Structure formats: C-alpha cells, structure tokens
A = this chain, B = another copy of it.
Amino acid sequence: MYRLYDYLPSGNGYKVRLTLKYLRLPYELVELDIKQGATRTAEFLAKNADGRIPLLEVPGRGYLAESHAIITFLAADSLLVPNDAWQQAQMWQWLCFEQYSLEPNIGTARFWLKSMRRTPEELGDKLVEKQGKGAAALAVLERGLADRAFLLGDQVSLADVALYAYTHVAPDAGLALEPYPAIGAWLRRFESEPWWEPITAR
C-alpha cells in the first residue's frame, strides 16, 4: 500500500490526496507538521533530501517527491492524463506554470498569513510582492479558462487538480477571486465532481 507523508493544509499535498481519491487507491497517511520542522529531521531527509512534503513511498520502489511528479505517476493510465501528445504537453505547461508562477506566490503568502499567523503589517513589502505576482498568475489562469469548461477542454484533467489546489484558497493569501468570473465558474464546476473533497478532508 502507498504511504503518503503529508501536511493536511498543504495544497501540494491536497493534489496528491485528490488524485488518490479519484483513483480509489488506498494509502497510509503520515502527517508531519512542517511548522515544527518535521520534514527537516535527519530521518525525513534520508527519505527526501529536499526536506519537503508531499512525499510518496511506493512499495518495492522507493520514495517520490514533488507533487506533480507524484500525481502524474499515479494517474498516468487514467482519464486524468490525456493520451494525445499535444494535450499532454498542454497539461504539463499548466503544471509547470502552477509551480513557477502561482504556488510560490499564493501558496507562500497563504502559509505566512494562515499557518504562521503573521500579519500583513509585519510582512510588509514581501507580502505585497507575493500578492502582486499571485494576481498576475490568476489573470493568466482567467484567460486560459475563458473559452472552456476545464483547462484542457471539456474533460477534467490533472491540470485542473493542480491549479485548483492553490487557486481556491487564494482568499487565504489576501487575494479576492471576485475579479475572475471564469475562475469562479471553473471552481464551482470542479467542486461538483463526485470525487471532490475539501482540502483538509481525510
């Protein structure tokens, strides 16, 4: 059985949990409190030298880090990954965009405000910069969703799983979603998938 090292408020971990739920794959959850340094112990660093969750332990194989490497490994043969090479490339374009332009801004601002309980006053310009870049990423996403139900077209895919994770919690980073009507409709569409569950569900 798979074992997932994770921190429930993590959007990156949530991508993996949602994918496992979609695939109906049972797994053992090992919760680690990243605020307490639980992923920087010698024991954990021996499993993942990068010291981050989510980390998937695959029986007979070893450990796999990086949320997008994990979800594409798990879902490779499912309908969440398109067969067509060009569609698969579009999926990876969105996954890479998420980790480069969306998560480092929205995810980090949310972590400071919600998990570390810092205030906007304490954070100052650092928060303003993250929020500005986060809003720019939301504008790119809004444009990508203008003419379609899901990011790759009519069918839900891992691109939606990956982008949903931190987009739907943008208000936790101090970013309102009201200016983005296509994103709003897409969030509601994604949340009506029968396998959807809230971010900290177990």
Contact = CB atoms under 8 A, between A and B. Distances in A.
A96 B61 CA distance: 20
A187 interface: no
Contacts of A85: 73, 76
A93 B76 contact: no
Total copies of this chain within the assembly: 2
A99 interface: yes
Interface stretch (A30-38, A63-71, A170-178): A63-71
Contact of A66 (B69, B73, B76, B93): B93
Given A69-B96, A96-B69, A96-B99, A49 B143 contact: yes
A120 interface: no
A149 to B, nearest CB: 18
Interface in A54-81: 58, 61, 64-70, 72-73, 76
Given A76-B85, A86-B61, A140-B49, A100 B93 contact: no
Interface of A: 49-50, 58, 61, 64-70, 72-73, 76, 85-86, 88-90, 92-93, 95-97, 99-101, 104, 139-140, 143-144
